[in-house]
A and B are shown apart, each in its own frame.
Chain A
Amino acid sequence: MDFGLTDDQRDIQRTARDLLAERARPERVREHAEAGRSDEALWRELCELGWPGIAVAEEYGGQGLGRIELSILCEELGRTLAPVPYLASVLAATVIEQAGSGEQQARFLPGLASGELIGALGASRGGVAELVIGAPEAHVIVLIDEDLSARVLTPEQAEVTPAPSIDPTRSTAHLSASEDAGEMLAGDVSGGVDRALVAVSSELVGVCDRALEMTVAYVKERRQFGVPVGSYQAVSHRCAQMLLDTEKARSTAAFAGWTADADPGRLPEAAAMAKAAASDAGREVTASAIQAHGGIGFTWEADVHWLYKRAQLDAALLGGAKHQRARLAGILAEQASASPVG
């Protein structure tokens, strides 16, 4: 048993972190967020590096690596809030790869893997999906209905109305499509959704990690009553709680990423656990980050709020913590005891 990353995975993580530390600096993220546009130069660079296709099979032009490698990139992009349509695009690719026919995969995946096509994934009700991330830029839209029926559409087959969310680091739109628009994805939709949940959870882990890092640095510096505020237990214990929440999210997301490739039978349970833990952690940790920053945390320029906003959107994406726990309770009811690791 080994929870560590392989040397190759560690290389991917290090390369991604170094690159984004340079290319997605907070001031650059803020600049794009304020302008309400994504960072096209960065997106092009990530596409040249093959990031969107990291988990797409080689026969479709991807790198053919696993869900853990995809999670690593999602986490790093979450840490920096890079304003690129990465998550949206890989979520769409994930569902097409799991649920699309061979022909559909061959038609969409090469473009999504290279970044030539941008994807978006929306959870719809009666053909309507709210705040679909990446949708204004998307060439390929996947809609999943409540009954887990899925279809893929071109933007022309749907009505796409840009609808800015509280998180302007990425674009969002209101979508509606008539019942017969697009084509069905007839394969393993739930397997696709579960893998998508793992990717979102990993992004949230990155958001939490960054929020905690910023907070710890701040409370060590900021002095009140003559001492660093981080020396007060009311503050330091809040930071400890942030770490605990982050580690819960990290460990369950890692487990879910691993099951996706190695033990798919446990994926539904693992994905629901990961998204439940990550959604709660994302909200709590970023809220605590604002609180621990005090007045400055409530200002626009402090940059903590971007993390809070991203966490709010991601927490809700494809079903929040309560939704995931309801699912999990269904699984538990069926299968009263969980099997051990291994």
Chain B
Amino acid sequence: MDLTFRPRELAFRDELREWLAANPPDPRPVQGGEDAEFAWRRDWQRRLYDAGWAAPAWPTEYGGRGVTPTESAIYFEEVGRARVPFAANTLGLLLGGPTLMVWGTDEQKERYLPPILSAEEIWCQGFSEPDAGSDLASLKTRAVKDGQEWVVSGQKVWTSGAQFSKWCMLVARTDSDAAKHKGLTYFLMDMEQDGVQVRPLRQITGEAEFNELFIEGARIPDANVVGGVGNGWKVALTTLMNERAGLGFALQIRLRQLLDDLIASAGERGLIEDPLYADALADLHVRCESIRLLAWKGLTDAERYGQPGPEGSLVKWLWSDTNQRLTQLAADILGAEALTAGTSWSYELLRARGNTIEGGTTEVLKNIVAERVLGLPRLKVAA
């Protein structure tokens, strides 16, 4: 056991820290709504790109630095710590690009990877549907072959950034006679066409971080099939596996910062000496540190033994639960401030409710842990 970083990793961290300190993003725009916010994030990604920091985990041949998973985790910890915005094309960088690297043709890689990195073309993810959430493979959006094209109709939901996106990672049913997981195909769909309508989905915070996609007769050239017709489930799993790997580290740091802020606020109010609050804050600290340790353990195990195991589900479960407890405790400690519309703590309190649903509900994560880690039998349900 050695919980220190190697010299190479420290050098990487220091280089990044220095760059972040010397190149802070512009202040977050206070006006202009989500368009201004997005432009701000796009500008930030351009700066990362120009300095070679947009996607260090990408191989050098695709414009990355080819860093190790540990260094990639350090990257997310550091950008989290620096409190810089997420890159505008986070889904392209973390999900779309890596999926293409595994499943894409040479032509696809050459065509799509460079503009992902530079934020010229933004990507979104068209997986979930109104009737296909946790049971993703039951999705109904249909793609029918028409000459050299596919014609797509259906509905997608929880599509973040759709209004800014050029490309959608779309999973659609191409064979309704095949078994549930077998009849799916993974496409890159051009969002700039009449057959695709984007409607903002207002969430409980009042904002619209996500969208609904209404797809009616959208056309996708055959060349935009990724990983072969009928192979969409496997390709989608590659995307989903990448979903937690990188982001997890940034979210973990974000949680740590919120807790530090809350501890500071409790200190100012003299509440950290109150045994009730002291106990709750210390418990959050233990949870927070456990998440960090478990996340690093999962990562270093993966580096050592190959693929990450389903134990990663524990980290997401514990993180989401802890963030909810933290924001709820903030309401106890800060009182009205955390319940007043427009404050950052009130936003955190409401936004946290999504944590145990997005990216795998806690119930599904528990199933994964029970079945794949503990080997418990699965209850047979009607198909």
Contacts and interface: CB of A to CB of B under 8 A. Distances in A.
A212 B256 CA distance: 30
A247 to B, nearest CB: 6
Nearest to B4: A342
B282 A326 contact: yes
Given A3-B301, A329-B281, A237 B3 contact: no
Interface stretch (B26-34, B335-343, B365-373): B365-373
B317 interface: yes
Given A1-B70, A3-B3, A273-B285, A237 B292 contact: no
Contacts of A35: none
Interface in A23-63: none
Given A216-B375, A277-B286, A336-B260, A4 B370 contact: no
Interface residues of B, number: 55
A233 B296 CA distance: 29
Contacts of A324: 282
A68 B289 CA distance: 19
A322 to B, nearest CB: 6
Interface in B61-87: 70, 77
A133 to B, nearest CB: 25
Contact of A258 (B1, B289, B317, B366): B1
A110 to B, nearest CB: 28
Contacts of B263: 332-333, 336
B275 interface: yes
Contact of B369 (A68, A244, A329): A244
A98 interface: no
Contact of A244 (B6, B296, B317): B317
Contacts, number: 175
Interface stretch (A89-97, A176-184, A249-257, A282-290): A249-257
Contacts of B10: 342
A125 interface: no
B306 interface: no
A247 B363 CA distance: 18
B377 A325 contact: no
Contacts of B111: none
A276 B282 CA distance: 9
Contact of A1 (B3, B267, B278, B294): B3
Contacts of A68: 1
B145 interface: no
Interface string A231-250: 11100110111011001100
A255 B279 contact: no
Nearest to A324: B282
A252 B3 contact: no
A195 to B, nearest CB: 16
Interface string B251-292: 000001000100110010000110100110111011101101
A147 interface: no
A217 to B, nearest CB: 10
Contacts of B2: 1-2, 258, 262
A231 B285 contact: no
Interface in B198-226: none
Q: How many of chain A's residues touch chain B, expressed as a range?
A: 35 or more
A141 B360 CA distance: 53
Contacts of A5: 1
B374 interface: yes
Contact of A252 (B278, B293, B376): B293
A21 interface: no
Given A236-B367, A338-B285, A244 B318 contact: yes
A328 B286 contact: yes
Contacts of A240: 365-367, 369-370, 373-374
A220 interface: yes
A340 interface: yes
Contact of B278 (A2, A219, A232, A329): A329
B272 A333 contact: yes
A166 interface: no
B300 interface: yes
A2 B300 contact: yes
B25 to A, nearest CB: 22
A342 B3 contact: yes
A176 B352 CA distance: 52
Contact of A236 (B9, B294, B376): B376
B64 to A, nearest CB: 21
A240 B365 CA distance: 9
Interface in B286-315: 286-287, 289-290, 292-294, 296-297, 300-301, 304, 311, 314
Interface of B: 1-6, 9-10, 70, 77, 256, 260, 263-264, 267, 272-273, 275, 278-279, 281-283, 285-287, 289-290, 292-294, 296-297, 300-301, 304, 311, 314, 317-318, 363, 365-367, 369-371, 373-380
Q: Which 5 A-B pairs have the closest CB atoms?
A: A329-B278, A325-B282, A236-B370, A328-B282, A251-B293
Given A212-B374, A325-B279, A329-B281, 4 more contacts: A243-B374, A244-B314, A263-B3, A342-B4
